[in-house]
Amino acid sequence: MSQEPTVRVVCLAGPSDSGKTTLVEQLVPKLAAYGRVATVKSIHHDIEIDTPGADTHRHRTAGAETVVGITPELTFDISTHGKRDPPPAPDGDRLPESNDHELQALASTLVRLERRGYAFVVVEGFTTAPLPTILVGDRDPAAVGGEVVGHSTDGIDDLVEAILELEPLAPLE
């Protein structure tokens, strides 16, 4: 028995250096006035986010699928699944089979964030995702996978209003 979706998700799509991250920085505090906000960033190249030799790095290289670090100020988790090998859905089952591993990884992440109680998720990148989208810069509306719900040239308050009016996320197919 599945619950009704409760999280509102918006994708920011635009070319590199068009202002997507700056727009995220403007949207997050405004949305936070209405509920918990998470962000997801598509990164197109591999990076090492953990310090080689650190205990968390040693845990992961020993074979832990997920490592959680808790500091006095931050909690972070590092999982071994990415776009090439999407993580399983939180209930243990994979999401519907898809040839698009990037969308499969995003869908699984959105489900996990919703289950953690986030009201909003702002996604930077993932241009082909079938999500409501705010166009940034000169991105062609035909090049995005979701319905265009705003443009970066709209006022920030208008964009927040458009996000507040979105229907909660339905499963990505």
Which of 43, 6, 23 minimizes the C-alpha distance to 159?
Answer: 23
Is the pTM value of this prediction over 0.85? no
pLDDT of residue 136 exceeding 50, the answer is: yes
Phi, psi torsion values for 71, nearest 5 degrees: -105, 175
Res. 98: pLDDT tops 60: no
Domain ranges for the chain = 8-46+88-164
The values of phi and psi at residue 122, to 5°, are -105, 120
Other beta carbons within 10 Å of 113: 21
- The answer, yes or no, to whether residue 32 has pLDDT greater than 60, is yes
pLDDT value of residue 84: 56
Q: Are 80 and 95 in contact (CB under 8 A)?
A: no
Rounded CA-CA distance 162/149 in Å is 7
CB 124 within 8 A of CB 19: no
User: What confidence tier does 93 reach under pLDDT thresholds 50, 70, 90?
Assistant: very low
DSSP 125-154: S-TTSSS-EEE-TT--GGGSSS-EEEETTS
What's the Cα-to-Cα distance from 74 to each of 4, 70, 77, rounded to whole Å?
A: 30, 6, 10
> What are the pLDDT digits (tens) for 36-85?
998 988 765 454 566 787 777 788 777 777 777 777 777 777 676 655 56
8-46+88-164 topology per CATH: Rossmann fold (3.40.50)
pLDDT of 173 > 70? The answer is no
Report the pLDDT averaged over residues 107-118.
85
CA distance 119 to 33: 11
CA 144 to CA 151: how far, in whole Å? 13
Query: What pLDDT, on a 0 to 100 scale, did the predictor assign at position 92?
Result: 42
- Note the pLDDT of residue 3: 62
Q: What is the 8-class DSSP label of residue 5?
A: P
